[in-house]
Structure 1
Amino acid sequence: MPKKLAKSNTFSTIASSASDLSTASAHLLPANLPPILTDGGPLPKLFVFDLDYTLWPFWVDTHVSGSTLKPVPGSNNTSVADKVGEHYSFYADVPAVLYALPLLGVRVGVASRTCAPDLAREMLKLLHVHPPPPAQTQQQQQDDYGTGSSSKKKGSSSGGGGGGGSGSGKPRKAIDLFDAGLEIYPSSKLRHMEALQRRTGLPYGEFLFFDDESRNRDTESLGVTMCLVRDGVSWSEVARGVAEWRRRKAVSALADGGPAE
């Protein structure tokens, strides 16, 4: 298999403002949410994710054999197998991230240039996102994120799946969580962003985009904030991305002569 598949998986222990969350939504949020997501400050209105080596640790058009997938028995729909029996799943924190963002009133979309869009969509249909463990206390959050870094453990190259927590919500197909739409086709990420903007009507300044390729920073010419990830999306990467988005928002406000939020 291509070398990149052998990269270590990313595990860590743990989206508009969350200050007005209803009690019903708040108790469904996962444990160890980064404090920046619930501190009452502004959050991007749209989170956009690449797929390969961002949400999952493989190239879906290269590593996955065949055109059909099936759930791995006993995985609770958190892992799928291709025709030769290889297993594939999300990076460890991804299910909790995808589950939490809609609860926080944030819209979520996909921007992927994979050459196997149908297979990518099928994987998103078959992989389920389960309720994560409920939120911890504020002190536990500070203990986990006081240094601004996350712990990492080595895992299998095909991802840890995750998301099989004991929260009281219902599991959902991953594809159903991307309410802003799926832009999955070979093209420029600029075109993907433009399509998402037309669909949502949101300004580019409200986009936070996670991708593993530095060349896709060209999306920032539109006003998008891009967070470059090297070992997949984790809670720490989400916190880092939001912090950078806020920094740029404050700089933009000052440049326009208004108060920084």
Structure 2
Amino acid sequence: MNGADCLPSLIAFDIDYTLWDLWIDTHVQAPFRRTGNTLNQVLDRYNQEIAFYPDVSKILHDISGKTTLALCSRTNAPDYARDVLRLLLVPPPPNDPDADGAPPEPKRAFDYFPQKEIYPGSKINHFKALHRKTGIPYSEMLFYDDESRNKDVESLGVTFVLVSSGLNSRSFWGGVEKWRKKNPVVTSSDGEV
């Protein structure tokens, strides 16, 4: 992978107002449900819709399998967040048949993120837990969040990106570029990384 294609070893996302436009612990009420195989929509008890922002699915398709994905949320309703993530279906990538030529299937949002730190408390504690579990250095971690108070993770060496109005492709790739500038790729004389 050359410098322009390089991704951090771990990319983490806050959930509320970063991946979807609500606070899971105050704006919705269980039980949650999905109608059939409806993509990117879960409804709460009062039919309040929960959905990822429009660019999130494409971002997940672009980086899934290329880096470790994580969720870091300080919500007071971790069970709600997990329930919704298990129900929320991410649309498959467009025009990307599987090995048998069949159209791809949607995937649960929950399954995109092998690492999940979803509980109240400091995001510093979330990242310390991620470091313990994965062994990935903090300098190899990139974090997107809508709250500037969580910038304190930079004290660990994590690259922090403040997201306003939800994660979109521009803010995502801008964050990757910020991480790349902090972590330039060293190449050998023959151009290999």
TM-score range, shorter chain: 0.7 to 0.9
CA displacement, residues 40-83 of structure 1 (integer Å, 9 cap, x when unaligned): 44211111000000010000001002x2100145x624201111
Unaligned 5+ residue runs, structure 1?
A: 1-16, 20-38, 136-166, 254-260
Shift of 1:169: 2.9
Whole-Å separation in 1 of the counterparts to 2:67 and 2:104: 18
Kept in 2: contact 1:99–1:130 (CA 8 A): no
CA distance in 1, matches of 2:35, 2:23: 19
* Structure-2 separation of matches of 1:119 and 1:108: 20
- From 181, 201, 212, the counterpart of 2:146: 212
- Structure 1 position 84, deviation (Å): 1.1
Alpha-carbon distance, 1:207 to partner: 0.4
Is the contact between residue 39 and residue 91 of structure 2 (CA under 8 Å) also seen in structure 1?
no
Q: Please say if 1:237 is aligned against 2:171.
A: yes
- Which 10-residue stretch deviates more, 125-134 or 207-216? 125-134
Q: 1:60 aligns with which of 15, 19, 24?
A: 24
Shift of 1:132: 2.5
Give the deviation of 1:170 after TM superposition. Answer: 2.5
CA distance, structure 2, for counterparts of residue 112 and residue 40 of structure 1 = 29
* Counterpart secondary structure, 1:70: coil
Given candidates 24, 35, 45, the residue that maps to 2:9 is 45
Q: Residue type matched to 1:172 in 2?
A: K
CA distance in structure 2 between the aligned counterparts of 1:202 and 1:110, rounded to whole angstroms = 15
TM-score where L is the length of structure 1: 0.65
| Pairing 1:1-261 to 2, within 5 Å after superposition | 17=1, 40-65=4-29, 67-72=30-35, 76-103=38-65, 105-134=66-95, 168-179=103-114, 181-250=115-184
What SS does structure 1 have at the residue aligned with 2:53?
Answer: coil
Distance, in Å, in 1 between the alignment partners of 2:143 and 2:120 is 17
Change (3 A) 1:246 1:40: closer
Compute the displacement of 1:221 (Å). 0.5
Distance 2:93 2:42 in 1: 20
Q: 2: distance between equivalents of 1:40 and 1:241?
A: 13
**What residue identity is the alignment partner of 2:49?**
H
Query: CA offsets per residue over residues 204-247 of structure 1, 9 Å max, x none?
Result: 01101000000111000000001100011111111100110011
User: Alignment length, in residue pairs?
Assistant: 182
Q: What TM-score, normalized by structure 2, do the two folds share?
A: 0.87
Runs in 1 of length 4+ with deviation above 4 angstroms? none
Distance 1:186 1:40, change over 3 A: same
Aligned-residue identity in percent? 43
Letter in 2 for 1:244: K
Q: Distance in 1 between matches of 2:45 and 2:79?
A: 16
CA displacement at 1:171 relative to structure 2:
1.4
Find the counterpart in structure 1 of residue 99 from structure 2.
none
Gaps of 5+ in 2: 97-101, 187-192
